[in-house]
Amino acid sequence: MKFFYNISKVEDYEYIVVRLEEDNLSGAGAILPIRKRGENYKIFMGIIEEYRSLIEHTTSDEAFLITEKLNKHFPGHPKVTFAIQAAMLSLFSKKHNIELQKLIGGLETPRNELCGERLFPEYEGDVLKLRCLAQDSSSNLTRTYVLTKYPKNEMDEVLSALSTNFKYLEVLSWRELL
């Protein structure tokens, strides 16, 4: 697998785009450093470099295991693992011709309203964990899934498919998070 990452800039704001390629297909993910949370793109670049060799020696068929492998190697970096897993799932869906909605989506048509705790998927670090979390009927906790619109619509397909597992939805522009 080929692994690329670079800094993208929009309106004097820098964020990271990761791209995975395999068999002339590609998947992308992105990481938005939120300054008011003390995040910086330089820190994320170092974490990505730590994961580089591990990712280059995987295949898209390991999309369902990649987060566990990354966390075992260097734990505690959910935004980076989420972006990489999103890129791998996107690549996996293209390679096997399976719609992302069928792969990670649910049956809900979420209502555009706030209700309960706000859930930012990037901070959970695992797409599949979020899918299961949404379907956990034993929890009485109501969550509003926050779908972030990235500057160039990176991860839109993954985040949109994942949102259909939740009853409530809030859509935010990347600018609103800064």
Radius of gyration for the alpha carbons in the chain, expressed in angstroms and rounded: 16
Residue 73 and residue 7 in one domain = yes
Residue 21 and residue 106 in one domain = no
Using the 3D structure, point to which of 72, 95, 118 is the last residue of a domain.
Answer: 95
User: What pLDDT digit, counting tens, does each position of 87-134 carry?
Assistant: 999 999 999 999 999 999 998 889 998 888 999 999 999 999 998 888
User: What pLDDT digit, counting tens, does each position of 4-61 carry?
Assistant: 999 999 998 999 999 999 999 999 999 999 989 999 999 999 999 999 999 999 999 9
Exposed, middle or buried by CB within 10 Å (0-12, 13-18, 19+), for 69? middle
- Judge if pTM exceeds 0.85: yes
The boundaries of the domain holding residue 145 are 100-177
Using the 3D structure, point to which of 95, 123, 156 is the last residue of a domain.
Answer: 95
Whole-angstrom distance, CA of residue 167 vs CA of residue 142: 9
Residue 82 and residue 21 in one domain = yes
Instruction: Considering only the C-alpha atoms of the chain, give the largest distance between any 2 of them, rounded to a whole number of Å.
Output: 45
Using the 3D structure, point to which of 95, 125, 146 is the last residue of a domain.
Answer: 95
Residue 61 and residue 105 in one domain = no
